[in-house]
Amino acid sequence: MAESPGRPGPTARRLADAASVYLRAAAEQGIDWYPWGGEPFEAARRSGRPILLDIGASWCHWCHVMDETTYSDPEVGRLLRQHFVAVKVDRDEHPEVDRRYQRQVGALTGEGGWPLTGFLNADGELFLGGTYFPPDDGHGRPGLRRVLKEVARLWKEEPDRIRQNAEAIQGSLRRMRDRRAPVAPDLARFVDGVRMELDSGYDPVHGGFGGAPKFPHPTALAFQLWDAFANGHSTAGDRARETLLRMADGGLYDQVGGGFHRYSVDEGWHIPHFEKMGVDNAELLLAYVQGLERFGEPRFEEVVRGTVGWVRDVLADPDGGWGASQDADSAPGDDGGYFTWTKSELKSALDADEYRLVARVFGVGTEGRMHHDPERNVLFRLLPAADAADGLSLGGPPEEVLRGALATLRSVRSRRPTPTVDPALYASVNGRFLGAFARAGAALDDGRVLMEAQRAADRWLDRAFDPARGIAHRLDRRAAAGYGLLEDQVEFARGLLEIGEATAKPRYVESAVRLLELVEAEYRGEDGVLRDMAPRLYDGPAVGGVGDPSYPLEDSPHLSANAAAALAWVRASELLHDERWAEKARALLGPVAARVGGAGLFAAGSALAAGLLSIEPASVVVEGQGPGAAALARAARRVYRPRLSVFLGRPPPPFSFPGEGGPPGGPARALVCFGTSCDPPVSDPAELAKRLGSGRSASGS
């Protein structure tokens, strides 16, 4: 019997019960999709067919476009069913798969991203690939119909050419792996090189680095803040502040609902790509907490509170933890409709003077107009509210009226069709949020934020932590799964260390130490750098190219897992006052620097870890009770100082504090130690902040 065009075959609903939102959304397509695993590779061997691999994510706009057009095309479906084994992968669920095939496609074409489209042999070797393919030729791209026909022909008629392509790609990957500096550079020289690259790449007009499309690089901002503190490079601090302000005022930040979109399509931060990623928001939340500590900007506090609010409202799981992302689109063919506004929509939601205030503040009708529909506007801050209020009859102070208008717009927007949220709980994302929420709760003096971090950490430790295997990649209602991935271990350890410092509870720091011990024992690869997977601990399907060694060394722009490991070891050395952890960081950073010494902006995380080692750790114990002790704690937690630990009372083991405390029941005072040298106690919050805000090098100079 001939199959009906465009209809799923009898096994096409393999994706219907998948844990992944992205996979489930493709279950009704007229394609016999397989999820990642051994079954499609066996089917390819048995049938003698090549594999088409599609890697995407629920937040990816062009993945949706390809699903809604290319993969919904009846002829594409027919060709795939007739000539290929089709495999669909959620890159958030399987980052180890995505990483390897991004590298293979990059070696072939010089491009990458999502959707990623690859053609593989039954051994998982890529011989052809690309990113987005329309169904028919257009926009300078070949149509997938034509590509499928040609690949099917080549597979049948020119197998030697297929084999040569696969061998050439594998050879290119081997050369890339083997390419490294013959000698690891001095770490100070490595840091200097990254500083020079950041200086040359800085955009003096709009802030940030490079041109369009412009991504936030929070780790680079953290490096600049460290550089200003440690070395007195005030320009670096000024540039970090300017970038934070520009991003906060741009369309990159959701002025109505809080939280950050993924990147800006223009260099001025006006029009974003609208997906909101958990990983981005966690790292940016931490960057704005650091900016608040350093500069005391009220705008930075607004952004911290707004981002926490968005995460709480949109990504928070009712049982603890945070989901992965919010989609850019709310319907097929949509492009930011949920997040943008027409003048008529604003006028219908607000009274006349509120509308005028909003239109002036947020530049309605100027650079934020959407290119595909100029009637729709991204809101970005063009004027201060006080300036925009000139000539208006407002019923209160301009900023207060503006806050009320934004609350009204939030309410109106909430009634629109809402972009899908991916509720999947991933350890790498949740670990970042643990640390960011712990730091935000301390800086805001908001116990609720810290409690949310503790609740998430406790859930993960109770259900997804195995001392022998580490932390699982994914936690859902059924089980925890996905052991053996480096990024999960180091990011979760970093988050636990921050909660440990904020609460002085041994459980968190002890669990973090166990994760870092596993990293040391299980993830070592060539030259001492860390592999992205531990072969003995990995519990995923060992098919395709997954077994190939891979080393996450560059920030992309998210912090690389090797840099995160170094930062975690540095933090552990501070909390435990154990120099062995700092030595582990130094030992790792040498070979990392040898490999990424020319990466500039994308080596900022490793350079930050190296730079932190030049700063003495500072420890504060606040003794006493009542308002005086609370004021000292607030002062210590609102000051910017790298490598700072603050405790209310002397912390229990395994924490370590080198100073001697006073008798119980004494007056409120702060004990301050730099390294193992302790200053006289201080009882004045302003004096405490001043003392902590002064830089000291590792040698005490």
Contact 317, 278 (CB under 8 A): no
Query: What span, in angstroms and rounded, lies between the C-alpha atoms of 459 and 425?
Result: 11
* 604 & 655 share domain: no
Any domain includes 397: yes
Rounded mean pLDDT of 355-375?
94
User: Over 90: is that where the pLDDT of 3 sits?
Assistant: no
Beta pairing partners, 205: none
* Greater pLDDT, 277 or 664: 277
* 46 & 144 share domain: yes
Crossing angle for the helix pair 278-295 and 298-310, to the nearest 10 degrees: 160
3-state secondary structure (DSSP) of residue 425: strand
Token pair in block for residue 453: 């971090």
Q: Show the DSSP H helices in 504-560 as ranges.
A: 506-522
CA 679 to chain centre: 38
Query: What span, in angstroms and rounded, lies between the C-alpha atoms of 339 and 341?
Result: 7
Residue 341 DSSP code: B
Any domain includes 370: yes
User: Over 60: is that where the pLDDT of 12 sits?
Assistant: no
CA 421 to chain centre: 16
* 605 & 641 share domain: no
* 140 & 215 share domain: no
Any domain includes 2: no
The tokens 């670096």 sit on which residue? 236
Beta pairing partners, 672: 620
The Cβ-side half-sphere exposure at 282, using a 13 Å CA radius, reads: 30
Lowest mean pLDDT across 286-300, 604-618, 657-671:
657-671
Rounded mean pLDDT of 10-15?
67
* 397 & 542 share domain: no
The tokens 């500069």 sit on which residue? 295
449-464 burial string, b = 16+ CB within 10 Å, else e?
A: bbebbbbbbebbeebb
Query: What span, in angstroms and rounded, lies between the C-alpha atoms of 98 and 82?
Result: 26
Q: What's at 474, amino acid-wise? A: R
Select from 394, 422, 450 the last residue of a domain: 422
Query: What span, in angstroms and rounded, lies between the C-alpha atoms of 118 and 210?
Result: 30
Any domain includes 7: no
Query: What span, in angstroms and rounded, lies between the C-alpha atoms of 552 and 532?
Result: 6
User: Can you give the pLDDT at residue 179?
Assistant: 66
Q: What is the CATH number of the domain that holds 540?
A: 1.50.10.20
Query: What span, in angstroms and rounded, lies between the C-alpha atoms of 50 and 127?
Result: 10
Provide, for the chain, the percentages of residues in helix, strand and coil under a 3-state DSSP scheme, each rounded to the nearest 5.
Answer: 50, 10, 40
Any domain includes 43: yes
Pairing label, strands 116-120, 85-90: unpaired
* Greater pLDDT, 173 or 345: 345
User: Can you give the pLDDT at residue 309?
Assistant: 98
User: Considering only CA atoms, which of 148, 117, 147 is closest in space to residue 132?
Assistant: 117
Select from 396, 422, 448 the last residue of a domain: 422
User: Can you give the pLDDT at residue 182?
Assistant: 59
* 357 & 398 share domain: yes
Domain enclosing residue 627, as ranges: 618-693
User: Over 80: is that where the pLDDT of 665 sits?
Assistant: no
Q: Is 636 left (phi over 0), alpha (psi -120 to 50) or beta?
A: alpha
* 220 & 332 share domain: yes
CA 92 to chain centre: 11
User: Can you give the pLDDT at residue 185?
Assistant: 81
Query: What span, in angstroms and rounded, lies between the C-alpha atoms of 395 and 411?
Result: 20
User: Over 50: is that where the pLDDT of 699 sits?
Assistant: no
* 127 & 249 share domain: no
Measure the CA dihedral 471/474/480/484, to 10°.
-40
* 60 & 163 share domain: yes
User: Can you give the pLDDT at residue 597?
Assistant: 84
What is the pLDDT confidence band of residue 9, given thresholds at 50, 70 and 90?
very low
Across the chain, mean pLDDT equals 93
Query: What span, in angstroms and rounded, lies between the C-alpha atoms of 433 and 457?
Result: 10
Quick: pLDDT tens for 287-341.
999 999 999 999 999 999 999 999 999 999 999 999 999 999 888 777 889 999 9
* 166 & 216 share domain: no
Contact 608, 567 (CB under 8 A): yes
Quick: pLDDT tens for 80-90.
999 999 999 99
Query: What span, in angstroms and rounded, lies between the C-alpha atoms of 368 and 588?
Result: 44
pTM as predicted: 0.95
Any domain includes 183: no
Query: What span, in angstroms and rounded, lies between the C-alpha atoms of 80 and 598?
Result: 42
* 677 & 601 share domain: no
User: Can you give the pLDDT at residue 701?
Assistant: 36
Any domain includes 202: no
Select from 612, 628, 646 the last residue of a domain: 612
* 398 & 447 share domain: no
Q: What's at 556, amino acid-wise? A: S
Rounded mean pLDDT of 245-259?
98
Query: What span, in angstroms and rounded, lies between the C-alpha atoms of 296 and 502?
Result: 20
Angle (CA) 98-103-109 rounded to 5° is 120
Q: What is the CATH number of the domain that holds 16?
A: 3.40.30.10
Quick: pLDDT tens for 20-45.
999 999 998 999 999 999 999 999 99
Any domain includes 187: no
What is the pLDDT confidence band of residue 700, given thresholds at 50, 70 and 90?
very low
Ramachandran angles phi, psi of 409, nearest 5°? -65, -35
User: Can you give the pLDDT at residue 547?
Assistant: 86
Domain count, the chain: 4
One-character DSSP codes across 20-38? -HHHHTTTTSSS-EEESSH
Quick: pLDDT tens for 131-175.
999 999 987 889 999 999 999 999 999 999 999 998 998 888 888
Angle (CA) 272-452-456 rounded to 5° is 90
Lowest mean pLDDT across 222-231, 340-349, 502-511, 689-698:
689-698
Query: What span, in angstroms and rounded, lies between the C-alpha atoms of 302 and 334?
Result: 29
User: Over 60: is that where the pLDDT of 397 sits?
Assistant: yes
